[in-house]
Structure 1
Amino acid sequence: MNSEKKERREAQLAKKAETIKAYASDVQMESETQLLIDGHPYVIEKNFRNGFDVEKLKERFSQILTKYDYIVGDWGYDQLRLHGFYAADSKKGFPSQSIDHMQDYLLEYCNFGCAYFVLHNLDVTKPVRKSKKHQNRNNNKKKNIDSDTKTVRRKPRETERKKKPYTSEKKFEIRERNNRKENVAVSTIKRNNTRKRHFVIRQKNEQKDSKA
């Protein structure tokens, strides 16, 4: 079992190494301080505690870093991290992305006293901006799409109105109330009242007879 796990682990590491090698950048040293990364010239301006490592730079470098004037590589837990900065006189990015704030970055985000290096990009690639014609075309497409969606949304409402069935008005006949119950109730009350009165009269007659 241990040998199988070891073989699987070695196979995974070999596969990982192949993928890293496939996506790795081409780094060529021209001198001790000058190098080419994917054909673009760079200069090592600072190499604190021998933090510069060519092989790790090949693995970690990304094309998104080519837009920065400076690249700082710092070490933490045996891992190389790359961070881009703009020139001091550049108007790009935020103030924290200026090379003047590199020391603040090292103190706040890096391990204390860690090894690091600074690369100066001599051939900054400018991001390609879209032409106005291309932007106008995209805006026109968006307007057409919005207008189409509006018309599509209105159609179902019209169809729903058409689909609604015709409902005829229901007529109800109003009948007069039957007053039989009320008449019965009144008659019973009258009868009860007459009975009570008749009962009271009998009591008075009996008293007169007893006195006589």
Structure 2
Amino acid sequence: MTVRTLHHYDEIGLVTASERTAAGHRRYTREDVRRLYRVRTLRSLGLSLEEIAAALAAAPDDASALRPLLTAQLRALEEQAERLRHLTGHVAGLLDRLDDAPFDAGRFLEVLSMFESHFTEAQREQLARRRAELGPERIEEAKSRWAELVGELLGDVEAGTPADDPHVRDLVRQWDELAAPFHETEQTKTAARQLWQDHGDELAAPLPWPADRLRALMSYVDSVRG
């Protein structure tokens, strides 16, 4: 410990030297040192100096009296750990999307803002978890197959193929099956569709198809689903 810390503990009355030398220097007795050990131990558990002072003032020699304080600290640490877990998953998801993003940082942040405004924190965690479980190779395969389906269905849109055509219905079934592994609940599917409806033009910007064609495609796919 530093002298500065000892002086601070003394100034706030947390650990005060019981004696002084002839020259006026602090002299810590065995009991002072025992109290100092307790303070340092509780400090290492993340307790504030105010909490430690209150606990030692109430029952300095009764370890069981610390139970309520330590129980509350454990609960706070668990909540903090949960927040950090959420934040860790969120940052990992951002890195994944940065790797996938074919646009500049400003563009990425715009799309990220749209994403976060349509999905709850729990839903974002679900999507990130599913991406991690599927792995990069399967995700790339899904992207490739999705692009093929877009091309085929755009052809049907332009040809005016009826929505109840068996071939078209089969393509949309494949579309939905392709998306299913990325979603754990219907809520994330609904949020994704709403995101596209609200920001289709912005989301389509980096894609190889014009936004108006993609809007027409999405409407067509919805009509096929009935």
Task: Tell me which protein shows more strand as a share of its residues.
Answer: 1
- Whose Rg is larger? 1
Q: As a proportion of its length, which structure holds more helix?
A: 2
| TM-score with structure 2 setting the length | 0.25
Task: Provide TM-score, normalisation by structure 1.
Answer: 0.26
